[in-house]
Copies of this chain bind each other. A is one copy, B any other.
Amino acid sequence: MKFEHLLAERTRKMGASAIREILKVVSQPGMVSLAGGIPAPESFPLDIMEELVARVFRKYASRALQYDLTEGFIPLREVLVDYLQQHKNIQASVEEIIVASGSQGVLDALGKVLISPGDKIAVEAPTYLGALQAFNPYEPEYLRMDTDDDGLIPDALEEVLKTKQIHFIYLIPTFQNPSGRTIPLERRKRIAEIIQRYNVLLIEDDPYSALRYRGDALPAIKTFAPEHVVYISTFSKILAPGLRIGFCVAPEVIKKWLVIVKQGVDLHTSTFSQALAAEYLAGGYLDQQLPKIIRIYKPKQEAMLQALQNYFPDNFTWSKPEGGMFLWAEGPQGFHTEQLYWKAVERKVAFVPGKFFFTKKGEGLETMRLNYTMADEETLDRAIKILAEVIKQAL
């Protein structure tokens, strides 16, 4: 029997995922993938997991396995209050914090609560693909905002707000996915001032800021405009993505609806995963682990930056972020990284053609996202060298 006629209108509009299709080859044996956004397995605190589990059962017993509040496990939300204050200078009460199944769970719930078909959302060009995948089923219209090496250009934000009725703005201000770019302090203040003046809501997605290898930490935009920002972060990069623990700090009315919507989506996020995350923070394990994670990624990033310097042609530029998981390379106008992709894959190196991170067709054809967290330094050097050879053949 065929069921195509049963698909909802939103489903018919979705279409198959083009990026899913092209990335299928990444799992081929021998492939060096610079395509993923996947933490290195050696960054997980595997050595303390059984201790953490013992701690969870000692402290919470069967409660760690039971149904729990849709808002999230209270002991986790309590330690998140301290974590947000100490690490991010964000003041949040337990009531303002919602735990979800990854940041993705927050993005989906926000989409469901806020987006009616045709509502306008302002996003960076380029922006995070997972956010688009969360929002797409709710059928928004995207408005792109220009960026430069310092991320979102405040004037581009104001231009959009001046001319259009925006439903919300979505940004990753620090070590952005895909570009690796970070919005500097003055721009953050300017953006905060603009969203307050235009009285609009900003979704500030912050998965990477803990992964800083150089330079000084920057305050979240949330700290300059607390009433106008939903701040999102995750344990995926500082503990383990497989636990699927994300969280947000949201203004009251948004928070209330996120909870009602989330109840329909999954009742609540895994209590056991939440209890593990709670004890990871409460037991001081993060403070031990985070320097280890940084020690793993910093030389990888340096190896990739050095290799780009050594091998890439002069008419390519790339971002030089102080942290995160990605670099963003741009070829000359007219260069097509999707064509390059298939040639690179023949040589067993994969990356993500940058066009998939743009909401407007035809943009970013000459761009590419390079991830350095999964391979070792030697492999990264070799992969960039191969990529450079393939590029030079294509130029």
Contacts and interface: CB of A to CB of B under 8 A. Distances in A.
Given A7-B113, A65-B46, A272-B272, A133 B241 contact: no
A281 interface: no
Given A8-B119, A11-B114, A1 B227 contact: yes
A265 B269 CA distance: 12
B17 A41 contact: no
Contacts of A324: none
Interface string A1-45: 111101111110010110010000000000000000011011010
A101 interface: yes
Given A8-B115, A49-B65, A134-B265, 16 more contacts: A1-B199, A1-B228, A3-B201, A6-B201, A6-B254, A41-B62, A49-B53, A67-B242, A100-B266, A101-B265, A104-B267, A105-B266, A108-B265, A133-B263, A133-B264, A137-B261
B41 A50 contact: no
A57 B52 CA distance: 13
Interface in A253-301: 253-254, 257, 260-261, 263-273, 276
A41 B66 contact: yes
Interface in A214-263: 227-228, 236, 240-244, 251, 253-254, 257, 260-261, 263
A348 B371 CA distance: 58
Nearest to A241: B67
Contact of A265 (B3, B20, B105, B119): B105
Contact of A62 (B16, B44, B253): B44
Contacts of A7: 113-114, 257
A227 B3 CA distance: 10
Nearest to A4: B253
B50 A46 contact: no
Contacts of A242: 63-68, 270-272
A242 B276 CA distance: 12
A130 interface: yes
A44 B257 CA distance: 32
A61 interface: yes
Contacts of A394: none
A270 B267 contact: no
A156 interface: no
Contacts of A119: 8
Given A8-B138, A54-B50, A102 B263 contact: no
A112 interface: yes
A97 to B, nearest CB: 17
A89 to B, nearest CB: 21
B8 A114 contact: yes
B66 A57 contact: no
A286 to B, nearest CB: 15
A63 B49 CA distance: 13
A136 interface: yes
A168 interface: yes
A271 B39 CA distance: 14
A116 B4 CA distance: 13
A95 to B, nearest CB: 15
Contacts of A253: 2-4
Given A8-B112, A61-B46, A104 B266 contact: yes
A190 interface: no
A135 to B, nearest CB: 8
